[in-house]
Amino acid sequence: MRTERSHRAFRSAFSILLLVLAAPLLGGCPGSLEHKERFLLAAGSAGQANGAGSASGMGGGDSDAAAPADAGSDAGPDAGPDLGPCGDVVTRIFVPSCGGTGCHGATAPQQDLDLVSPGVAARVVGVLGLGCSATLADPSDPQASLIYQKLSPTPPCGSPMPLARPALSDEDAACVLAWIAAQ
């Protein structure tokens, strides 16, 4: 009896220790990935760097992350013109692809870049990025905008975005470019 109780206590303590040690690995943004090509090769994703996502531009199931119905919507007075088939770029692309991964959401966003809360344009237009000396969104030169450049396989600094996930489709990247130009 005493041995069985000791064994259960040990298993319980060991389980708690495993949970404490594994907790940092189970949540949050992965940070940076120095050798993305090794990760993609190991994951069997090599060659899927462009256009491998679903109709929303992303594969996987993270797009169903809980977000308020108006999360990121810039449908207020500062909203850009209707972008036709692109729709609301913030809600359709930024929220699931950038914020749904936990990286650029409203809570503790990486590089202080929240791409999901209302008023995204006000936070990115004419603002210099942290860690990269480029303007996040420059409507006068959208292709030079850091947000757009980070979508390419070889951005001028840091890792391509979204990090460790399939790249946006060419159509969705074009929508991001059009969104920047419309601001």
pLDDT at 181 over 80: yes
pLDDT per residue over 47-86, tens digit each?
A: 333 333 333 333 333 333 333 333 444 444 344 455 688 9
Q: What is the mean pLDDT of the chain?
A: 72
How far, in Å, CA of 101 to CA of 173, rounded?
18
pLDDT per residue over 123-147, tens digit each?
A: 999 999 998 889 999 999 999 999 9
Q: Count CB-CB contacts under 10 A for residue 154.
A: 6
Per-domain residue ranges of the chain: 32-182
Confidence of residue 37 (pLDDT cuts 50, 70, 90): very low
Global pTM?
0.58
